[in-house]
Structure 1
Amino acid sequence: MEDTIKVHENPAPNDLEYPDLYEASVLELQAGLEAGHFTSVDLVKAYFTRIDDVNVKGAALRAVIEVNPSAISQADELDKERKISGKRSSLHGIPILLKDNIATIASEGMNTTVGSYSLLGSIVPEDAGVVKRLRQAGAIILGKANMSEFAFFRGKNNELPSGWSGRGGQCTNAYYPNGDPCGSSSGSGVAASIGLSTVTLGTETDGSITCPSSLSNVVGLKPTVGLTSRAGVIPVSLTQDSIGPMTRSVEDTAIVLSAIAGKDPNDVVTLSQPSVIPDFTKALNKDALKGKRIGVPRRIFMDQQVAKNAPYVGSVFEKALDVLRSLGATIVDPADLPSAQRMNKAPYEMIVMETDFKIDLNAYLAVLKESPTGVRSLADIIKFNDENRNLEQPAGFEGQSRLLSAEATAGKDETYLEALAIDYEYSRAKGIDAALKEHNLDALVLPSVESCWSPAAIAGYPIITVPLGFYPDNFPIKLNEQSPTRPISQAPGMPFGISFFSTAYSEFVLIGFAYAYEQATHTRLARKAYPAAIPKTQLKDVVGSR
């Protein structure tokens, strides 16, 4: 990368044990910063070089679409501030990568393009709401993570592979060469998994935090719609979109969520959130599952999806239920969603998302201060793609059926309103809330495989995924059904997760459950990425080169 920081192989000037950036946590790095063992400038330089090690060179993971040319100067200012007045928060001087649909001011030197050349050079009016909160906490915006273009809402699954964007190319998994990173927060998941940043942010409409977190062996939390601001985030559907952390530990997830949660007048949905948002780090309790009732909604979202897509995952999940029991939980199995059969076959979610996409995207484009490509509407984007096929429709990546379907929608008409009402009825009153009430449950649990996250997504309810296991070394490779040359969906050593979900604004409880399970299993630590995908640069290399 052009922003590579040259380091030397000289040893560090002392015998300090520097944190391993593959696993380093927010608090571990914060302790080193506070002790003066290294600086935030050192951290940024180390992460820049780690990105250069594997992003385009080496394993060519293409997890990062661009780095922030202002990051080192920001780090320097925050280092000076630390010396004068102390740290602002646990995130002071900590680098974070943002998914490329989360807006940052253009004067900083980065783009916000949702992976598309059609938005290259566009100038947003202001930082996204979550970015404002991160800056206030003292975090450093390290760069933008690659993603499935237009949050995997450009073409259908058989048209475009997960993790591909025109600008960023094909992002791949760090646990198996050409492995599927899942989308759309693919780059955020891969970057977090191997320590290309301390923490990352992703976005989810339906599975886009949960799935890439699962396949990258990291923790991902999709908050309740309205807990974190969507202002300044290129949307799919403001009915379902949510912004959340993707990290290597539940602790780091709790720290980041505490920083980005809160009301924002630029996102009116956040104004209806609870008046007091808790410090989510207070939920980190190893005994959180004692005396709790956890349900398994097997019908459709467990039995059929696991049998179809991941039977091995199902066998590991059964052992995880025993772990939950050993931690003091009562497992209610089954605890089905009454609406499961109808929800699984219903077309209503897509009616809502396609209608929202056109309206919400057009609203985002309308307030751009500048759009060098002339794009100001969804129709303009479709036209741009057709006129710039070498950039946006290379051979094998021509699909844009979702864009075309969304453009054909007629607004929030009777069909839309009926679909939205049914969505909420099936996912909430006759779905998650019904199961919780009928069985007197505190939460529901499922393996993080295809569609198991959909009830929480459609309801706008929170879901957290933590590492559950890995496919064994003798596991047969499962090629992509649509195209054998595209990223591999299942292969030896690739990870998968387990998800806890519940009703609106239950993040505190879910973080506690996820933490208790994580601390009892430490599954993430059982396996690392394949060797070529592991960056070589460490803090000692940067500190030693001063």
Structure 2
Amino acid sequence: MGSAAAAASSGARSGRTTLTYQEATPTPDLPPPSPSVAELQEALSNGETTVREVVEAALARIDALDQQGPALNAVIELNPDALSIADELDVELADGATRGPMHGIPVLIKDNIATGDQMETTAGSLALVGLRAHTDSGVARQLRDAGMVILGKTNLSEWANIRSFYASSGWSGRGGQTLNPHHLDRNPSGSSAGSGVATAAGYVAVAIGTETNGSIVSPAGNCGVVGIKPTVGLVSRVGVIPISHSQDTIGPMARSVADAAALLNVLAVPDPADAASNGEWPVAASSDATPVAEPEATPIATPEMTILPIPSYPQHPEGGIPIVDYVAALDPTGLQGARIGVLRGMTGFSPDADAVFEEAIVALREAGAEIIDPVEAPSESDSEWGADTLPVLEWELKAGLAEYFAGFLPDGAPIASLADVIAFNEEHADEELQYFDQGIFMNADARGGLDDPEYQAAVLRIQYAGRDNGIDAALETNALDALIAPTNGPATKLDLVNGDHWLGGTSTLAAIAGYPLVTLPAGYRHGLPVGITFMGGAFSEETLIRLAYAFEQLVQVWREPAFLPGAVIPPDA
């Protein structure tokens, strides 16, 4: 791709350090990036190409970039059946028997989403290698029913970044370190690092990530792609290696809002086997600790309470899980008349992110949005609930892993509990613990069960902070359609010794509320993408997609990754 020895776009500003880029990684005769979903749909329907040809093109792009060239290391495993599946779909296409609009579109999925085929499902851990899931996850089933080709699995922060307090995003014992395609020495973020990198690098038009807190939107921000973190319960979590039943969700990552919306149409199908889809909170079995729900119950646990209200999954105002055509929300005039609140308390962690964010606010105003600035979620100024967030995940991790292992691993598998994983890691420390420990795992294994009253009280506190005293309060007090904040800062350098260097992010309130986020690129600094996040209440994806799409069409900032080895800061900086 030639030399990229130009200064960063923001380097000419007064007081800024000019960065000199090293020469880009040569990529001669590089297969082109994936066309968009709409372009693929048109080419397939017109007979201009076949599903096999589409899959072969994706495999060629992966071959050129993933283990050679810049060696992005985003794909942990390819589906050995991909071409035979493509041939079957071509027969259906020729017969006019397509399974839906996404028929024949390849997709990569994160390696914590079970597939009952020849591929592994390991969450990046060597402990699960060889223990193939015996059935599909709900998500994999939806993809197959829609006629999509599951091309392979993407690398991730091992165990979705819940193993260690200090780790490098995008590193796993099984998959190694995934690289940021914009600057190869920069962190791709995680935990859905491989899915973010794969879409940014054009392996596929769409990929799937999972999020507990930031794991879709953060890598989307660092890699310069669109990420949709759906409301908990909108997409089935059955068969996804869990962290938290109260926060886990699965969503699209793509190069455009339109492509992400098209994939969300496939994924957003209620699953009665998922407690979050049917709204039934898993009440603890112990009669001593089982709470009793009363209409007048206080929404937050207090020391005086002897009977706690039951926590809940997000609820749609009209009840149930909405069935929506998210592609129909793609309106280029969607910002006109929208009331959007600026969460000023979520800025300030990065001057570069702030600069891009201010430019985005100007663009939103010019597009006809009414900007309410500043807006505050009351819980932003209350730091006490923050101490509950990780313990809740630890309680739920221990229980959730045991349930997943029992339901999806082969009978008699040597891994049946979190304790088994911890023991495996200790026995294989040279491979699994060479960089990072398993401190969070150890804490989680020491936790009690979900019948622990302390667990339930902590869940109630963080749900109140995220919902009633958080996002809902900010939206309702100001009569807003959505909230906005920077997604995260430009990607920091990779560091396998000390782990991630975290500048800041804005995903936590939505995480503990179980509410949706949509992030997309808003600009670039030093050749690195910076994202903006649209945030809303429960099941507000349609509104957020409408706003994000209109913003995307307005600013038109997308850039192909340059695969630069890094940036050199002059000695006098």
Regarding TM over 0.5, the answer is yes
Cα distance in 2 for residues equivalent to 1:384 and 1:336: 45
| TM-score, normalised with respect to structure 1 | 0.86
Paired residue secondary structure (1:409):
coil
Alignment length (residue pairs): 484
8 Å CA contact 2:110, 2:208 repeated in 1: yes
Cα distance in 2 for residues equivalent to 1:369 and 1:463: 32
Output one character per residue of 1:497-540: Cα deviation in whole Å (capped at 9) or x when no partner. 00001100000000000000000011113x5332689xxxxxxx
Q: What is the aligned partner in structure 2 of residue 431 from structure 1? A: 470
Cα distance in 1 for residues equivalent to 2:243 and 2:512: 13
Which structure 2 segments of 5+ residues have no match?
A: 1-27, 280-315, 489-503, 567-573
What is the alpha-carbon root mean square deviation over aligned residues?
1.9
1:398 aligns with 2:436: yes
Q: What is the aligned partner in structure 2 of residue 280 from structure 1? A: 326
Q: What is the aligned partner in structure 1 of residue 172 from structure 2? A: 165
AA matched with 2:513: A
1:529 aligns with 2:562: yes
Q: What is the aligned partner in structure 1 of residue 146 from structure 2? A: 137
Q: What is the aligned partner in structure 1 of residue 74 from structure 2? A: 63
Q: What is the aligned partner in structure 1 of residue 523 from structure 2? A: 469
Cα distance in 2 for residues equivalent to 1:65 and 1:505: 32
What is the CA-CA distance between 1:198 and the residue it aligns to? Answer: 2.3
Paired residue secondary structure (1:133):
helix
What is the CA-CA distance between 1:149 and the residue it aligns to? Answer: 0.2
Q: What is the aligned partner in structure 2 of residue 124 from structure 1? A: 133
1:61-140 matches, within 5 Å, as: 61-105=72-116, 108-140=117-149
Cα distance in 1 for residues equivalent to 2:563 and 2:449: 47
Cα distance in 2 for residues equivalent to 1:101 and 1:418: 29
Q: What is the aligned partner in structure 1 of residue 485 from structure 2? A: 446
The structure 2 residue matched to 1:289, chosen from 322, 335, 339, is: 335
Cα distance in 2 for residues equivalent to 1:351 and 1:520: 42
The structure 2 residue matched to 1:455, chosen from 505, 509, 524, is: 509
| TM-score, normalised with respect to structure 2 | 0.82
Question: Which stretch shows the higher mean deviation, 505-514 or 282-291?
Answer: 282-291
AA matched with 1:508: E
Cα distance in 2 for residues equivalent to 1:316 and 1:128: 39
Question: Which stretch shows the higher mean deviation, 335-344 or 515-524?
Answer: 335-344
8 Å CA contact 2:131, 2:409 repeated in 1: yes
Question: Which stretch shows the higher mean deviation, 182-191 or 385-394?
Answer: 385-394
The structure 2 residue matched to 1:331, chosen from 371, 387, 392, is: 371
What is the CA-CA distance between 1:85 and the residue it aligns to? Answer: 2.3
Paired residue secondary structure (1:85):
coil
Cα distance in 1 for residues equivalent to 2:63 and 2:209: 21
8 Å CA contact 2:183, 2:564 repeated in 1: no
The verdict on how the C-alpha distance between 1:251 and 1:315 changes in structure 2, with shifts beyond 3 A counting, is: same
Q: What is the aligned partner in structure 2 of residue 250 from structure 1? A: 257
The structure 2 residue matched to 1:147, chosen from 149, 156, 165, is: 156
What is the CA-CA distance between 1:213 and the residue it aligns to? Answer: 0.4
Q: What is the aligned partner in structure 2 of residue 540 from structure 1? A: none
Cα distance in 2 for residues equivalent to 1:371 and 1:115: 21
The verdict on how the C-alpha distance between 1:369 and 1:354 changes in structure 2, with shifts beyond 3 A counting, is: closer
1:503-542 matches, within 5 Å, as: 503-525=537-559, 527-530=560-563
The structure 1 residue matched to 2:352, chosen from 312, 326, 329, is: 312
Cα distance in 2 for residues equivalent to 1:85 and 1:44: 20
Output one character per residue of 1:189-240: Cα deviation in whole Å (capped at 9) or x when no partner. 0000011122100000000000000111100000000000000000010100
Q: What is the aligned partner in structure 1 of residue 344 from structure 2? A: 298
8 Å CA contact 1:121, 1:371 repeated in 2: no
Q: What is the aligned partner in structure 1 of residue 65 from structure 2? A: 54
The verdict on how the C-alpha distance between 1:532 and 1:66 changes in structure 2, with shifts beyond 3 A counting, is: farther
1:332-371 matches, within 5 Å, as: 332-343=372-383, 346-370=386-410
What is the CA-CA distance between 1:344 and the residue it aligns to? Answer: 7.5
AA matched with 1:168: G
Q: What is the aligned partner in structure 1 of residue 284 from structure 2? A: none
The verdict on how the C-alpha distance between 1:446 and 1:41 changes in structure 2, with shifts beyond 3 A counting, is: same
Cα distance in 2 for residues equivalent to 1:372 and 1:185: 30
Cα distance in 2 for residues equivalent to 1:506 and 1:186: 25
Cα distance in 1 for residues equivalent to 2:389 and 2:153: 29
Output one character per residue of 1:130-183: Cα deviation in whole Å (capped at 9) or x when no partner. 111111110000000000000000101xx3211100010001100002210001
Q: What is the aligned partner in structure 1 of residue 10 from structure 2? A: none
What is the CA-CA distance between 1:275 and the residue it aligns to? Answer: 4.9
Output one character per residue of 1:97-128: Cα deviation in whole Å (capped at 9) or x when no partner. 000000001xx311000000100111323111
8 Å CA contact 1:121, 1:372 repeated in 2: no
Cα distance in 2 for residues equivalent to 1:30 and 1:427: 39
What is the CA-CA distance between 1:343 and the residue it aligns to? Answer: 4.2
Paired residue secondary structure (2:547):
helix
The verdict on how the C-alpha distance between 1:447 and 1:91 changes in structure 2, with shifts beyond 3 A counting, is: same
8 Å CA contact 2:44, 2:50 repeated in 1: yes
8 Å CA contact 1:237, 1:353 repeated in 2: yes
Cα distance in 1 for residues equivalent to 2:263 and 2:205: 11
AA matched with 2:410: E
The verdict on how the C-alpha distance between 1:357 and 1:91 changes in structure 2, with shifts beyond 3 A counting, is: same
8 Å CA contact 2:218, 2:505 repeated in 1: no
Cα distance in 2 for residues equivalent to 1:137 and 1:23: 19
Cα distance in 2 for residues equivalent to 1:77 and 1:149: 34
What is the CA-CA distance between 1:371 and the residue it aligns to? Answer: 6.9
The structure 2 residue matched to 1:380, chosen from 420, 438, 444, is: 420
Q: What is the aligned partner in structure 2 of residue 485 from structure 1? A: none
The verdict on how the C-alpha distance between 1:345 and 1:267 changes in structure 2, with shifts beyond 3 A counting, is: closer
What is the CA-CA distance between 1:292 and the residue it aligns to? Answer: 1.2
8 Å CA contact 1:119, 1:371 repeated in 2: no
Q: Which has the higher helix share?
A: 1
What is the CA-CA distance between 1:373 and the residue it aligns to? Answer: 6.3
Question: Which stretch shows the higher mean deviation, 508-517 or 347-356?
Answer: 347-356
The verdict on how the C-alpha distance between 1:132 and 1:434 changes in structure 2, with shifts beyond 3 A counting, is: same
Output one character per residue of 1:227-267: Cα deviation in whole Å (capped at 9) or x when no partner. 00000000010100000000001001111111111111221
The verdict on how the C-alpha distance between 1:198 and 1:499 changes in structure 2, with shifts beyond 3 A counting, is: same
8 Å CA contact 1:133, 1:260 repeated in 2: yes
AA matched with 1:289: L
